[in-house]
Amino acid sequence: MKAPRGTSSQFASDNWSGICPEAWAALAAANAGHAPSYGSDDWTTAATAAIRSVFETECEVFMVFNGTAANSLALSALCRGTDAIVCHANAHINVDECGAPHFFSGGAKLLTADTPHAKLTVDAVERLAVTPHDVHSARPRALSLTQATELGTLYTADEIAALCDQAHRMGMLVHLDGARIANATAALGGTPAALRSFTIDAGVDALSFGGTKNGLLGAEAVIFLNPLAAVGSAFVRKQVTQLSSKMRFLAAQFNAILDEGLWLDLASHANEMARELYSRTSCIDGVILDGPPAVNSVFPSLPRPAIEPLRDWCFFWDWDESRDQVRWMTAWDTTVDDIERFAEGVRAVLAAPV
């Protein structure tokens, strides 16, 4: 039986989605006339004020082009080239950024732990950070967490607070990779207060605030919640080639989604669509799922012979090949119709004779 026709990449990644209408309109509006460059424009002033309002603090805010740059800028500001960064083995900075934090920091190395559910533990951080760090070895200087994690799991606010306490006791600053921070916030309460509970209230010093995976075009923000961590960061941004001359186009998009909480509405929708995807596929023979998704990613294990035919019809990425596990992701623009068509395709491919 042949799978019904579907979209070629609907569930590959939230990175593959388009720009939300509000951000698109904001770009068009910002395109009128001339404006001062390098962030000296009204859009950037407004976006910075909006972000500070969300966090209820006078944080330092930098608009950048992508998530790798955001992480590299933050970590390069926190670390010297002789330092080390503690992170999970599955962290984006370890697996998917081609050594960018190492490169831009001038040599900082990564110390990793492969703890369950892609979440670091206090014990794991302590074991890594007590690595001898005299003049012969790198000094652990930063702890990098990911929220939501690469496995779609979430740290609670208490878990992050405990990790921050441990890191600070050991002389480290804490960075949070928030490429999907909107999805995490939506899942943990859906309010700015929920965001603050696992960031500034928990003790995070610097974070990446993702926009590209939540309906924006190449727009991320680096936020230094700890003023001491921000010292010199403006120079680092310039050096890592992330000081946009036409910053109004980045800032205008943030203004569009921060207005009236649209950033949380978009993320909530993506999360809801993942739950719908889980509901419609978990009952299909051959689809093995551990449980409902926390955010906008679903990680099913499938019969190996079915993976390639299904991927040829509607592309998605492998996750853990040892378990025949793949990843399906929803986005701000995923619809129930998309999910219905995809579930029909999954059912058809898995029912086909091998």
Which residue stretches of the chain have pLDDT < 70?
1-8, 131-133, 354
Taking the CA atoms of residue 93, residue 98, residue 101 and residue 104 in that order, the dihedral angle to the nearest 10 degrees is: -160
Quote the DSSP letter at residue 36: -
pLDDT number for residue 1: 44
Condensed to tens digits (0 to 9), the pLDDT of residues 182-228 reads 999 999 999 999 999 999 999 999 999 999 999 999 999 999 999 99
Per the CB < 8 A criterion, the answer to whether 157 and 96 are in contact is no
Q: How far apart are CA 228 and CA 220, in angstroms?
A: 22
Task: Give the ranges where 240-324 is alpha helix by DSSP (H).
Answer: 248-258, 262-281, 304-313
Per the CB < 8 A criterion, the answer to whether 42 and 35 are in contact is yes
> Which SS3 state, helix, strand or coil, does residue 120 take?
coil
Per the CB < 8 A criterion, the answer to whether 209 and 237 are in contact is no
pLDDT number for residue 159: 98
Radius of gyration, alpha carbons of the chain? 21
pLDDT number for residue 354: 62
Residue ranges covered by each domain of the chain: 21-260, 262-351
pLDDT number for residue 339: 96
Per the CB < 8 A criterion, the answer to whether 14 and 296 are in contact is yes
pLDDT number for residue 8: 61
pLDDT number for residue 135: 81
Condensed to tens digits (0 to 9), the pLDDT of residues 230-249 reads 999 999 999 889 999 999 99
Query: Which residue in the block uniquely carries the two structure tokens 């779609």?
Result: 152
Neighbouring residues of 41: CB distance < 8 A, sequence distance ≥ 6: 35, 247, 248, 251
pLDDT number for residue 65: 94
Quote the DSSP letter at residue 258: H
In terms of CATH, what superfamily is 262-351?
Aspartate Aminotransferase, domain 1 (3.90.1150.10)
Q: How many CB atoms lie within 10 A of CB 111?
A: 17
pLDDT number for residue 156: 98
**What type of residue sits at position 45?**
T
pLDDT number for residue 36: 96
Quote the DSSP letter at residue 110: E
Per the CB < 8 A criterion, the answer to whether 154 and 148 are in contact is yes
Q: How far apart are CA 349 and CA 169, in angstroms?
A: 53
| The two three-digit tokens of residue 223, written as one number | 């936020």
Q: What distances in angstroms separate CA 59 from CA 206, 223, 226, one per listed residue?
A: 9, 7, 7
Residue 67's H or E segment, with its range, is: helix 67-78
Per the CB < 8 A criterion, the answer to whether 80 and 141 are in contact is yes
Q: What is the CATH number of domain 21-260?
A: 3.40.640.10
